[in-house]
């Protein structure tokens, strides 16, 4: 997918200061072609400029990141989305991943790390922060005992679980590959498979997880 040039990026966030900060911290590896502060202008900019990667805030006036993906993704499969948020709520983040985002990073991420994440999403990889890995493990296993899960739901394979656990422990793909004795490409394949399962597994199951989780937390 990657043609070697710097990925063209649209930043979608309703905080001006934050957009400016991201823009300067991304550095020369990434070309920022537009900034948007709400859903409508983001959709227009993406349709018009067809960027490689969209950096997407979870919460925004007019529907948030999920709405942007919903309105753009069908017509533009080549545009990739990376969620960038201060949100700690698993439901919000999982919803954005399920809508089609290729990864999630928190806003406290450093500039070089963010640029690296953008490049990886641009190259077709999934970007899982430790926190996202924790959310996903929660979604697939932690909160719903295996016996209650519908048999048709795609469960994580032991290997995929292992990879996610290592990500949650703070290991990078290369280090996970070395630890598990597999190649970095295989690690990426596992993460992409998890992402696919998350996006395809039945809506019903995930909503049950979400409501269960809310029940537990209250």
Partner 1 sequence: MSHSANPPRGGLRIAIGIGLLVVSGLLFVRAAGPWPGDAIVWPAAVAVLGALLIWRAPAVTPRRRRGWAAHRPSEPSPPRQPSVRMRAFGRPEVSRGGLGVALVLAGGFAFLWASGATRPAGEALLAALAVLIAVALIFAPSWRRLARSLAAERNERIRSQERADVGAHLHDSVLQTLALIQRSAEDPKQVAALARRQERELRGWLAGGDSREPGHTLAGALEAAAAEVEAAVGGSVEVVAVGDCPLDERGGAVVAAAREAMLNAAKFAGEVPVSVYAELSPERVQVYVRDRGAGFDPAAIPPQRRGVRESIIGRMRRVGGRATVRSLPGGGTEVEIAIAHGGSAVSGEES
Residue with structure tokens 């994440």? 117
How far is it, in rounded angstroms, from Cα 175 to Cα 164?
13
- Distance of closest approach, residue 114 Cβ to partner 1, in angstroms: 15
Q: Tell me whether residue 73 or residue 210 sits nearer to partner 1 (CB atom).
A: 210
CB of residue 134 to partner 1, shortest distance in Å: 4
**Closest of 70, 72, 131, 65 to residue 104, by C-alpha:** 131
Residues that bind partner 1 (CB under 8 A): 88-89, 108, 130-131, 133-134, 137-138, 141-143, 162, 165, 168-171, 217-218
Looking at the Cβ atoms of 68 and 132, the one nearer to partner 1 is: 132
> Residue 145: phi, psi to the nearest 5?
-60, 145
Question: Among residues 131 and 208, whose Cβ is nearest to partner 1?
Answer: 131
Smallest gap from Cβ 39 to partner 1, in A, equals 20
Q: Both ends of the chain: CA-CA distance in Å? A: 45
Rounded to 5 degrees, what angle do the CA atoms 116, 193, 43 make?
Answer: 60
Give the whole-angstrom CA distance, residue 69 versus residue 66.
5
Least distance CB 7 / partner 1 (angstroms): 25
Question: With respect to partner 1, which residue has the nearer C-beta, 124 or 170?
Answer: 170
- Shortest gap between Cβ of 2 and partner 1 (angstroms)? 26
Shortest distance, CB of residue 53 to partner 1, whole angstroms? Answer: 24
CB of 152 or CB of 217, closer to partner 1: 217
Distance of CA 53 to CAs 76, 102, 107, 111, 206, Å?
A: 11, 10, 17, 16, 26
Nearer to partner 1, 6 or 109 (CB): 109
CA–CA separation, 206 and 212 (whole Å): 10
Burial of 210 (0-12, 13-18, 19+ CB in 10 A): middle
* Nearest alpha carbon to residue 177 among 190, 187, 167: 187
């Amino acid at each position: 997918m990657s043609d070697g040039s710097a990925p063209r990026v649209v930043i979608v966030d309703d905080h001006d200061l934050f957009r400016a900060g991201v823009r300067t911290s991304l550095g020369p590896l990434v070309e920022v072609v537009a900034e948007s502060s709400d859903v409508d202008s983001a959709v227009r900019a993406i349709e018009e400029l067809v960027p490689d990667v969209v950096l997407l805030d979870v919460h925004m006036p007019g529907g948030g990141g999920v709405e942007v993906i919903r309105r753009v993704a069908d017509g533009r499969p080549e545009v990739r989305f990376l969620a960038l948020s201060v949100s700690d709520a698993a439901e919000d983040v999982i919803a954005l991943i399920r809508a089609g985002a290729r990864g999630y990073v928190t806003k406290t991420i450093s500039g070089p790390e963010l640029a690296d994440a953008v490049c990886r999403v641009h190259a077709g990889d999934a970007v899982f922060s430790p926190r996202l890995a924790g959310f996903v493990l929660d979604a697939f296993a932690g909160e719903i005992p295996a016996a209650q899960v519908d048999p048709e739901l795609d469960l994580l394979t032991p290997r995929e679980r292992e990879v996610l656990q290592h990500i949650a422990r703070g290991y990078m793909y290369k280090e996970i590959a070395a630890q598990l004795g597999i190649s970095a490409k295989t690690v990426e394949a596992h993460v992409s498979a998890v992402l696919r399962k998350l996006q395809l597994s039945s809506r019903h199951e995930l909503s049950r997880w979400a409501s269960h989780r809310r029940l537990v937390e209250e």
